[in-house]
Structure 1
């Protein structure tokens, strides 16, 4: 259980760091770039990926798609935390699990039971209620687009990672290393273009933030994988505890520490989000 707790802690800490980035005038794209450099170094040290196994038949299109999506969605994640707070952003990220579930039904023709259909319906209702807010200023009327992009982006990323996991010719950790490497290159290109265009300046504070961000981002992945190994006979335990833990911890920190304001409908949405995760988990248990 300690691995699940550590994974939840790392995941929520990433959101907290992104929330603090505005206060300390951190360049998110610079921090994201260093974050992936840190993650790939840690991936090399902990997982010892065998890059000699890479060949032209490896799933390079998926690697490249992930390399572009990861830094881009990270920017949307930061914008969502900045504009709508940790609570709504964490729920958007966690409920993105419905994207691969829908892909399993419509693309991979997986059989669904009644509980899973109910869970999906409750989940989408939760999304609507959680993101609902009264428009205070016209300039903020499009803020909902950030968590929606987080929802879609992380869902698509999950589907792509699942496709990599199905590629048995390469160890998953080697593919993960390649994705981190390419994601770092993509984010580095973006930073270089911005520096040349004088839209940003390289600062040590951004590098420091990126190192910390990368440490917790990788820690989330490392402890999540360790938790699945520890509970290999019951993966739904990890799935449920992780998703519920992040939603609850993120909500408490957002409300107590950052004084984020939520409406009654938002609170109902949070409760429904928790119910949706439980229903999806129960549906998976019944399918076994």
Structure 2
């Protein structure tokens, strides 16, 4: 459970940092690319085996890291936009409500059994992330940004499902750090290529805010994935339980951080969602 708690903590920090980007005028795309370089460096630093760049493409999980790298940079940009335009709580809810996808994957592909209490807990979890994200009617939201949380939901669900699949079938425990580093390296390379193509006629300038923001984001980003991989090795809880507890706890914690740090308004329904989140976590964990 320690690994799961650490994954929740570092994942929640990501949403807070995204919110800080908008407050301190950090350019998201540049910071995200720096973040992946830092996260890759962290993965290589914590990897205890011998590193041979030539051998990495021969790893059975290598092609999966390329797909994840693309999804990481795409979904991270969507998460940042959602945090800045709709709030930290909405971004975290859209991301973590995607728990439905890996849970269904575990049930139908790996034949994981769900008892009555777990099913009730998962249903309550989905209700919790909805109610925790409901905004007051007085807050107006542009129609153009409504699609953001939907895309975040789908992208996050595919990422979690892919991580579970690769962890289950291809990635050895000793290679978790190397696997994570390779995913982050792929995301960084894709991001750099995107910038070079987009700004081929516009010179790039180094902005210390973007670099510092990327460093601050890269460290918790690495640990959020690393500890999730470690948590998925749990012999007591199946992946459906892990993803449910992880995602709902992140919603609850990041919503509370949004209230404390950014004075985000929270309604009675939001508090109800937090209470449901706690109940769902207890049901899934104790069933």
Relative to structure 1, is the Cα distance of residues 4 and 163 closer, same or farther in structure 2, using a 3 angstrom cutoff?
A: closer
Change (3 A) 1:215 1:275: same
CA distance in structure 2 between the aligned counterparts of 1:240 and 1:181, rounded to whole angstroms: 28
In the alignment, which residue of structure 2 is the partner of 1:286?
Answer: none
CA, structure 1 residues 257+93, in 2 after alignment: closer, same or farther (shift >3 Å)? same
> How many angstroms does 1:157 deviate by?
0.7
Q: 1:21 maps to which residue?
A: 21
Partner of 1:145: 147
Partner of 1:219: 223
Mapping of residues 1-288 of structure 1, within 5 Å: 7-48=7-48, 50-51=51-52, 53-56=55-58, 58-133=60-135, 140-168=142-170, 171-196=175-200, 198=202, 202-222=206-226, 243=247, 245-283=249-287
Contact 2:93 2:130 in 1 (8 A): no
Distance 1:150 1:181 in 2: 21
User: Alpha carbons of 1:56 and 1:256: their partners in 2 closer, same or farther (altered >3 Å)?
Assistant: closer
Distance 1:60 1:33 in 2: 20
Structure 1 residue runs of 5 or longer lacking an equivalent are 284-288
Deviations 1:256-285 (A, max 9, x none): 2211112322322232233333333334xx
Stretches of structure 2 lacking an aligned partner (at least 5 in a row): none
Q: CA deviation at 1:121?
A: 2.3
- Which deviates more, 177-186 or 242-251? 242-251
Q: Deviations over 1:63-109 (max 9, x none)?
A: 22101100111111111211222223233333332221011223444
3-state secondary structure, aligned to 1:196:
coil
Bigger drift between 233-242 and 60-69 goes to 233-242
- Structure 2 CA distance, aligned partners of 1:87 and 1:164? 29
When the two structures are superposed, what TM-score results if normalisation uses the length of structure 1? Answer: 0.81
Q: How much is the aligned-residue C-alpha RMSD, in angstroms?
A: 3.3
Q: Given that residues 34 and 211 in structure 2 are in contact (C-alpha distance below 8 angstroms), is that contact kept between their aligned partners in structure 1?
A: yes
